[in-house]
Structure 1
Amino acid sequence: MLFHYVHFTSLVLATGLTLTLALPRRGRHQTQTDPFAIPDPQEWENTDHMTWDDYVRPPGSNWYNSARRGTQRNFNVALIAVDYPDEAFVITLAANSTVFTNPQPAANSVPRADVPSFYRDLLKKPQEQNLNHTLHEYWMEDSGEGGFNENACPTGQSCSVDLRTDALGAWRAAVGNATANSFELVFILSAGQDESSTWQEFCKMLFDGPDAVADAFGPPANSTLTNWADTRYVNWTSWASAATIWPNAGRSSSTQAESSGMGTYAHELSHLLGIGDNYNNPYSIPPIRSYTAPFSMMSRGSFDGPGGPHTRWQIPALLGG
């Protein structure tokens, strides 16, 4: 296993919330006694139809500034980038060269040695690449792993490795316990896709059924496995999607992949701070209510971004969460 590591900026905890009561607006023909008056008009826009031009910064805030220090608590977070003998960092490849058509033209052919600093800066440094938005800003505005599918493991390969254990162990062996212990939390960045960003887009949104999954999205050519495999929310997705990691948090660390955006990092960071999920499975049969859905970072909201939740497969992650 190969890896790099970099320091990550501190994050700031909000010290309080301000709640504002919004009174419903009356239509021209509505009065207080109108029995058909809408008591609570809903005004919202589907993120599928939004762009970065629709973004409105909270008044008086400059949370994108990663140099700000917290008044209550600061975090020293390490970012460990991990690649594999059979999985290079996607952004080191030529544009649109993978089966998922990644990396995107916005960032490709990055030297391997520069990968950790690329993702560090993408998360923490306001720049043209991230449209001057940072993870610190995202988390402040919205806060107020299982193993590989064992039934889809190619013959002769081991699919029971523990990314968290192996990556943290290799990192500690390289930098020493004193350095490793100086960090409170660790973000582990795995080469390749994040299954939460591909299971739907390269499943029913692309193929009519499991037997229709193209060979390009199937297992190695010498395998007897099907081109589909089990996944989390529904009963199948393409094998190429199922073969990637699903972000998760635990033991003071979280795992992400190259397609994981700021929303994913912020969601997993919240778990590390003891904040639970706020969703169910709306794709089950029958559907289960998804609580706050796209309106909360701890639910489907962590998938949101310009163009909606189905842009999250792109590398680097410059749109959806």
Structure 2
Amino acid sequence: MTLQTAERPRLAPTAQVPRTGRKERDRVSRWQIWVPLSLYLLFTLVPFYWMLVFAFRPRGSTSLLPWPITFENFETVWNDLSFALFFKNSLMVGIASLVMTTVVALAGGYALARYEFRGKRLFMIGMLCTQFIPGAMMLIPLFEIFRALGLVNSLWSLVIAETVFQLPLSLILISGFIKNVPVELEQAAWVDGCTRLRGFFAVVLPLLRPALVAVGSFAFIHSWNNFLFALMFVSEQEKFTVPVGLSYTLGEFSVDFGALAAGGVVAAVPVVLVFAVIQRYLVQGLSAGAVKG
């Protein structure tokens, strides 16, 4: 007795793409990616290059390169224009805004993520709608409120204003991040005898590092760069921040470009350092906070 094996259907040979054609296609795709990115990078870096040129080259020089390098403009800004005082004021406002925004957003974000209450969706829509309101429209109401509270010409007015404007986005980011943390982890901590507060600090808070870094960095950088609030709510020169101090290099009939560029370099250093430290947490915090609404 013979066993007849059924013939397997033969598969049609797959067409192989020539290696030369594949290399040409990869080469074209690389050009399509790198050319627009290079143009965008050039467009972005040219203003920074000119700022460095004006900051480090001697006054009166028209060279395209900052040579010979001089620090005269930095000495003028730091000593003659009291830039050290402006730098300290901006640092105080930025750190205070960071702390207040993070603490309030952490408490509010936990409530939005873990509790259900009437009007929760409308509340979140209202917070989102506040992001469409320009800060200039709120100057007069905020000024009247701060005058009634005796906070005009005080750095606390800047801290409160920055915290209020940064809270809506911070709340949404942190609440979305907390929703991604399984509630079963907290319940396990409660079974072990932890209170809700202790369970939050022991279980949830360590997992919120990317979200806290994203929220805190945005609060610090926004308060560091804000010019409008510092110009309107503070009138004493001893309480000016960096953006307002830089405006004093603009005279009525002339502009000290060297001092202005040197002040811009000094003002950009903290922002660059912050992004260099937090860049690995920033994308993770923003993307995790945006997964769930």
- Range of TM-score over shorter length: under 0.3
From the CA coordinates, give the structure whose radius of gyration is larger: 2
Greater RCO (Cα-Cα under 8 Å, separation 6 or more):
2
* Structure richer in strand, relative to its length: 1
Q: TM-score scaled to structure 1, two decimals? A: 0.23
* Structure richer in helix, relative to its length: 2
Q: TM-score scaled to structure 2, two decimals? A: 0.24
